[in-house]
A and B are shown apart, each in its own frame.
Chain A
Amino acid sequence: MNAVIISSRQKPFVLALLGLGLVLPFAIYPVFLMKGLCFGLFAAAFNLLLGYVGLLSFGHAMFFGWSAYITAHAAKEWGLTPELAILAGVALATLLGLVVGWLAIRRQGIYFAMITLALAQLMYFVAVQAPFTHGEDGIQGVPRGRLFGLIDLGDTLTMYYFVFAVFVASLLFLYRVVNSPFGQILKAIRDNEPRAISLGYEVTRYKLIAFVISAAFAGLAGSLKSLVFQLASLADVNWHISGEVVLMTLLGGVGTVLGPTVGGFLVVAIQDYFAGIGSLVIIIQGIIFVVCVLLFRSGMIGVLTPWLKRRGING
């Protein structure tokens, strides 16, 4: 099946979203939007695995956090320009994804989740002990630098448009992957792995490629985040982040294109709103998990799309 990138019916909808993304920083605090975009991208990358291959990784924080560390270190200590610093971070995340994926796909289902979680914890302890991460302090005061040596990202609005551009390009790429012949095979593996094997597909190779792509984009999200907040810390590699990205995807809608981004914005909004109130964020996140699993497993987008369709609006 040869997929068209975006069908003509969806075009007005996509253009409206793009327009919204361009004007939104004049209405809403841009740093909040950038945080939402970073986590939205992170969740979209995670969703490639859970939604389209059916693999639940509980360790995506390691790609996010380690890429953030490398980008921060490259920008601050080596004085690299932001695009090269991001590239360095993504390169490490990709490499890490290759190793972790290669190990984890030896087991399936629940074991896969536990292995990724354990490996992420291993990488967390490595981050605790490695000197360049500066332990509890993290890497602070990361310079945003000049993009290609020309455009100053120190300006918040410029930074926003940079993050937005990367986000849109990444989402288009992921959308293209999912709707390519390669993506079709991933879905076949998700729906019926033995059948995919019997059709002659090398299932492990497809799984590994999907895992590496997912890790790379999770890393890209982490790199962007470290430039936006000019900080890379232990919080980024903690298992809480791995849990949050699952929550974002689940809340937005597993296996939908825009769902994880919607979920990402929602979770970030909840975090910001309840930030000052002790452990309330954790309790609320836990409750959302329980409610999502018990009551709406298709997530916000999964609930909204049929509703919109019934009203004759095509999404």
Chain B
Amino acid sequence: MMTIFGMPTQALFGQLLLGLINGAFYAMLSLGLALIFGLLNIINFSHGALYMMGAFVAWLALNFLGLGYWPALIVAPLVVAALGMLIERTMLCRLYKLDHLYGLLLTFGLALVIEGLFREAYGVSGQPYSVPKELAGGWNLGFMFLPIYRGWVVVASLILCLGTWFAIEKTKLGAYLRAATENPTLVQAFGINVPVMITLTYGFGVALAAIAGVLAAPVYQVSPKMGSDLIIVVFAVVVIGGMGSIMGSIVTGYLLGLVEGLTKVFYPEAASTVIFMVMVIVLLIKPAGLFGKGA
């Protein structure tokens, strides 16, 4: 058996792949958080709950409507985005003139309600969601065995993240968005409907979370708790990366996933805490975050 640093390559690359997958979810969630924060000045605490909801919509669609994985990949983000936009129009929009902390508290409350409702209905134990048959099985790459589905998650998330980056940094719509982030009043004065843009941005941000949820469903079990466990780690990722740059969020997400995967191989006891430790170190060295612009 081949080994690297005394580790069987099979285990090493297996954990690295798992780390990369976790990183994909970190990247997609922190990207959505950064987008929402940029325009709404709100940290969306319900992001984790909406990610969980994405996974549950896929599971419900399969078990009650017979809708498979591929339709769910479209339906779940649409459902979650619709709910998100409803939340934004009815509740969040009342808070824009207040301290940012109120947005955090409101979305925290919403996260509790959403998680509580799913726990009430489906209990805390996870529900299995099987890998779609087109992506079942795996390839033997020689140095490791690659389950096709896991490869797909990494590729799909990369496409989504880079697509979002391209749309924001290189298209006209993205330019409006960046302008509105800098100065909404001025952009409004140029005749662009900023409130609608805010609503759509929130919808898009939570839709990203929902897609991440659907992608995660076959990897982890679908459980009401999956969101709250993840969102705290994502917050640490956001603190490390800073929310100033889209590419920054993406890179930080994948990087920290890999760091976590490596820790699982070499010092498993610290795997659950390593990202928080990195956050402490970053706070000590560069308090504004790796890609941040001031506090």
Contacts and interface: CB of A to CB of B under 8 A. Distances in A.
Interface of A: 56, 103, 106-111, 113-115, 117-119, 121-122, 125-126, 128-129, 239, 243, 246, 250, 278-283, 285-290, 292-294, 297
Given A243-B108, A289-B106, A293-B95, A111 B239 contact: yes
18 contacts: A56-B105, A106-B295, A109-B101, A114-B235, A114-B239, A115-B239, A115-B279, A121-B236, A125-B272, A129-B269, A243-B112, A278-B120, A282-B115, A285-B109, A287-B109, A289-B106, A289-B108, A290-B110
A132 B287 CA distance: 34
Given A103-B284, A107-B295, A113-B101, 14 more contacts: A107-B239, A109-B101, A113-B104, A114-B43, A118-B235, A118-B236, A118-B239, A122-B276, A243-B112, A282-B112, A283-B112, A286-B113, A290-B109, A293-B95
Contacts of B22: none
Q: What's the dominant secondary structure at chain B's contact region?
A: helix
Query: Which 9 residue pairs across A and B have the least CB separation, nearest first?
Result: A289-B109, A286-B112, A286-B113, A283-B116, A282-B116, A122-B276, A279-B119, A118-B236, A106-B287
A289 B59 CA distance: 29
Contacts of B233: 118, 121
B110 A117 contact: no
Interface of B: 37, 43, 91, 94-95, 98, 100-102, 104-106, 108-117, 119-120, 228, 232-233, 235-236, 238-239, 269, 272-273, 276-277, 279-280, 283-284, 287-288, 295
A282 B273 CA distance: 26
A289 B276 contact: no
Contacts of A243: 108, 112
Given A114-B43, A239-B232, A294-B94, A286 B283 contact: no
Contacts of A292: 105, 109
A99 to B, nearest CB: 9
A103 B109 contact: no
A121 B232 CA distance: 8
A109 B106 contact: no
B283 to A, nearest CB: 5
Contacts of B273: 122, 125-126
A170 B108 CA distance: 29
B97 to A, nearest CB: 12
Contact of B105 (A115, A126, A281, A293): A293
A293 B106 contact: yes
A199 B284 CA distance: 27
Nearest to B49: A286
B100 A286 contact: no
A129 B43 CA distance: 30
Given A246-B105, A294-B94, A286 B111 contact: yes
B116 A279 contact: yes
Contacts of A115: 239, 279, 283
Given A239-B232, A293-B95, A293-B105, A119 B276 contact: yes
Contacts of B108: 243, 246, 289
A285 B94 contact: no
Contacts of A279: 115-117, 119-120
Nearest to A111: B239
A278 B287 contact: no
Nearest to B272: A125
B283 A289 contact: no
A65 to B, nearest CB: 15
Nearest to A56: B101
B284 A287 contact: no
Nearest to B102: A293
A116 B244 CA distance: 20
Nearest to A109: B100
